[in-house]
Amino acid sequence: MRGIRGAITVEENSARAIGRATRELLQAMMEANNVRVEDIISVFFTLTSDLNAAFPAATAREMPGWNRIPMLCAVEVDVPGSLGRCIRVLMLADINLGQREIKHVYLREAAKLRPDLGE
């Protein structure tokens, strides 16, 4: 089992924008690591406090095969000066990659968060 990290910024606090960003990030994480839906053990989402229009897990459950994956959403710690309008993800997957082979995915402005882990 491996953990795959990801993050993406959202252009506005709307259900549509949060849903679009969630799908984009999850698909990119799966493609980058050759993860199939049946490989996913669980997914943990956090959102910055300025994103409260929708749950990312609700969007994920609408994706094919995702309705049985355990998921949880929480609010990210509100550190002063930190990146806003950001969704962060920790995906646990049953894949045969070493830790150094995992490709963590940081999209849009979130690419600034972990340049040491991004592509």
From 117, 112, 76, select the one nearest 100 (Cα to Cα). Answer: 117
The reply to whether 100 belongs to the active site is: no
Told to judge if 73 belongs to the known catalytic residues of this protein, a careful annotator would answer yes
Residue 61 among the catalytic residues: yes
| Residue tagged active-site, from 20, 24, 73, 108 | 73
Catalytic residue flag (residue 68): no
Q: In what order do the strands lie in the sheet with 71-75?
A: 71-75, 40-47, 86-93, 2-9, 105-107
Question: Which position among 2, 76, 85, 86 bears the catalytic label?
Answer: 76
Candidate list 61, 62, 101, 119, residue with the active-site label: 61
Residue 76 is a catalytic residue:
yes
Is 114 an annotated catalytic residue?
Answer: yes
Q: Which of 5, 85, 101, 109 does the annotation list as catalytic?
A: 5
Do β-strands 105-107 and 71-75 pair in parallel, antiparallel, or remain unpaired?
unpaired
Query: Does the annotation count 36 as an active-site position?
Result: no
